[in-house]
Structure 1
Amino acid sequence: MNVEKYGAGSIVVSDYDPNWPALFAQERKRIEQALGAFALAIEHVGSTAVPGLPSKPIIDLLVGVRSLEEARQRCINPLEALGYVYMPEYASWIPGELFFRKGPPGPWTHHLHMMEQSHPNWDARLVFRDYLRAHGEAARAYADIKRALAASSKDDIEAYRTGKDGFVRETTAKARAWRAAARDQ
């Protein structure tokens, strides 16, 4: 997929900002008010949700809905009223979700991923986040990969994202095994 270049220049991976959880909580309240019962859950995901993890300074929100089709009909306008821009062209890259971003025309401040909670990516994003929160060595390895990719990718966000895919897949598999083992105890 040919996605536009990154925001307003080169990809920057910033040191962890302890304000990120508060920014998420603030945005979560706004989304809850705008979507009401359509939002079944709103989770902080992505690197800004992992204490100590360097990240692009973009708050990733994962919004669970009962039906993606219903969300397409009823949730786009309320989110646009909050400053989110619906990006339908991303559907081929991230099937099974509605993707929005917010902020100046790059760099963006928020990404919102809306999907049905039954979608496999719902669980994958949460278990990946939780594993990195619990395993500092994995978070540090991810930070090293992200910084190297930001340096080598310059403004090519697709190269940056795809460069992380192997680590994310492997770590998600470890995270699922970790969670299963914890349940068995």
Structure 2
Amino acid sequence: MRQVQVHPPNSRWSEDFTAEAARIALALGDNVVQVHHIGSTAIPNIYAKPVIDLLVEVNDINQVDGCNVAMISLGYEVMGEFGLPGRRYFRKDNAEGDRTHHAHTFQTGSFEIVRHLAFRDFMIAHPDCAQQYSDLKRALAAEYAEDIDGYMDGKDSFVKAMEQRALQWRGRA
């Protein structure tokens, strides 16, 4: 059972993203269009689980399957679509068994890319909403310290509401 812990904002998260994005881009090769930093560690000044979320945009999602060995060599576990058709998902733990990275890979043109980037960009542009999200995450982490499902369920309605606002803000609702 993984402990639910959120940590204060850390400038190292951006550096960790940059380094890991370069490794992943090398592993996946010319198929990579861009690697985006998403998730709470990409939003300045908020608390987050210290897991770097990367959104890897590729030209051909099916070519990613041929790179599984390269991703394993970087320490990732290959999860396939993992509940989202059209995604290739990889996750990585450190030597202590703590989750450190998620790599969500989608083909260019996927609505999932739009959705994730809209949420991130909206939160960055609206620090008051980002602070509400941070406060919610801290409260849920305290309440559900040993229950990741309870923590995730507790965030769900807020995230969905903010996502809708973000898509409208971006002009794609």
Counterpart residue number, 2:71: 79
Is 1:168 aligned to 2:159, yes or no? yes
Work out the CA distance in 1 between the residues paired with 2:77 and 2:130: 30
Contact 2:36 2:54 survives alignment (8 Å): yes
Work out the CA distance in 1 between the residues paired with 2:170 and 2:163: 10
Counterpart residue number, 2:97: 106
RMSD: 1.7
Unaligned regions of 5+ residues in structure 1, if any?
A: none
Work out the CA distance in 2 between the residues paired with 1:76 and 1:60: 18
SS class of match (1:31): helix
How many aligned positions are there? 171
Contact 2:28 2:64 survives alignment (8 Å): no
Unaligned regions of 5+ residues in structure 2, if any?
A: none
Q: Name whichever of 54-63 and 95-104 sits farther off.
A: 95-104
Work out the CA distance in 1 between the residues paired with 2:88 and 2:144: 26
SS class of match (2:98): coil
* Cα distance per residue 1:47-79 (max 9 Å; x no partner): 00011111001111000122322212x121111
Shift of 1:144: 1.3
The sequence identity of aligned pairs, in percent, is 37
Is 1:23 aligned to 2:16, yes or no? yes
Counterpart residue number, 1:148: 139
Letter in structure 2 aligned against 1:133: I
Shift of 1:147: 1.1
Contact 2:89 2:104 survives alignment (8 Å): yes
SS class of match (2:82): helix
Work out the CA distance in 1 between the residues paired with 2:97 and 2:45: 24
